[in-house]
Amino acid sequence: MSRYPRNTQGYGGEPPAADWPGGANIAVQFVLNYEEGGENCLLHGDAGSEAFLSEIPGAQPWPGKRHWNMESVYEYGARAGFWRLRDLFVGRGVPLTVYGVASALARSPVQLAAMKDAGWEIASHGLKWIDYRDYDRAAEAADMAEAIRLHTEVVGEAPRGWYTGRTSINTVDLASEAGIFDYISDTYDDDLPYWREHDGRQQLIVPYSLETNDMRFSAGTFSTGEDFYLYLKDSFDMLLAEGAAGRPKMFSVGLHCRLVGRPGRAAGLARFIDYVLGHDKVWIAKRIDIARHWRARHPAPAQAPRPTTLPRDAFVARYGGVFEHSPWIAERAWELELGPAHDTAVGLHNALARMFRSASEAERLGVLTAHPDLAGKLAAANRLTPESTAEQAGAGLDSLTDAERATFTELNDAYVARFGFPFIIAVRGLGKSDILAAFRHRIRNDRATEFATACAQVERIALLRLKEMLP
């Protein structure tokens, strides 16, 4: 058995109704990352200087040394960039979420007071603006606990949201285990919030974005404020159109004081904010507002074992009859590399169907012969499986006239004599006349064609059964 932890299924092309306040077609959310004073620096007890998200091309850490230019670039964000962005957002009455590095907030009491005066949400951006990829789990958990403690001490209240940014593979699990966050944002995998299960607990995820983000200035992707404006505008227009068509989404814009806080870049941001403000049916919100709305509109799902988390015997007991009287298919499927994408009807069907398709012809013939004749002797004797009984009754095959029964008996006998297995068809949505027409058409097939057709019908029956069992 192997289980694949990544969830590539998501909402499967059928996102839930966001129902944003006021019937908005899009929820726009601005994040200001406040990291200045929390970056790698000898003064902060680190082994070297910072090298990430700055104006210095190709910057590298200076082990054991202070990097005056790098420190100065970061200081611009706190000394000048922050205030330019504060005036831009406050002047337009636009709400904002701050991802605040706890140690940076502790070193910036005046900026922190301005954030609070503006009514901005202050979420946690970790203890320090450093890379956690090589931290062991215990050390990262200790830093997270200290970040929460220091944030609460400095800000005056505990953070309700969490975003590390430079994560390890353990970050999201650790934040979930903390048990205090209304949302976590260390993912970039959707345009809507969603619930993530970890260790028996459902955690709300409000995804973030690295592409509608001013960090691309430091990467050289954006050169001018106009580049930033046009990319944000195109993204906004696309999402707004999707919302108008009935599928509203969320749009996150990531900002940094030392990057977009520069005058030429801030001008592009200002144009974008004014562009957004010029549209109706737009909800500009803090991330905590989005989280609270989602919790109210789409509360955490009830805890229930997912198919791929079931022990082998329980898995086979529940899904062993999906392919008629053929539990071996479920037994083999359980051994596959399964994951969250297989916890839906379509996903689990794919795993089961793979085992059916890869089986020998004799094994597949055994599955075909396990199916009962339509309106045959087993049905008359009430010896069908509950699934087959319901399916045949749904097509009216439990209430045949004597003439109809004679017709089915004649066709059944001729079909089995010709092919060596019973006529199989997914009867959902079909009437007696539809079934008889298919019967008369398919009995003229050659055996290879009909074997393949019958196998395809077996797979369709299995899918329909799974859709009754799973979302």
Q: Which residues have a catalytic role annotated?
A: 371
Q: Which residues have a Cβ under 8 Å from the Cβ of 25 and sit 6 or more positions away?
A: 240, 242, 243, 244, 248, 281, 282
d(CA 285, CA 296) in angstroms, rounded, equals 15
3-class state of residue 338 by DSSP:
strand
Side-chain half-sphere exposure of 355, counting CA atoms within 13 A? 22
Beta strands at 2-3 and 337-338: parallel, antiparallel or unpaired: parallel
Q: What are phi and psi of 161, to 5 degrees?
A: -125, 155
Distance CA(232)–CA(215), nearest Å, equals 13
Residues belonging to the chain:
471
Amino acid letter for position 94:
V
Pairing of strands 183-184, 121-124: unpaired
User: Dihedral through CA 290, CA 294, CA 297, CA 300, nearest 10?
Assistant: -160
SS3 content of the chain, % helix, strand, coil (to 5): 50, 10, 40
Which residues, listed in sequence order, are joined to residue 167 by a DSSP beta bridge?
Answer: none
* Distance (Å, whole) CA 429 – CA 265: 59
Q: How far apart are CA 140 and CA 146, in angstroms?
A: 10
- φ/ψ of residue 28, rounded to 5: -100, 135
187 burial via Cβ count (<10 Å: 0-12, 13-18, 19+) = middle
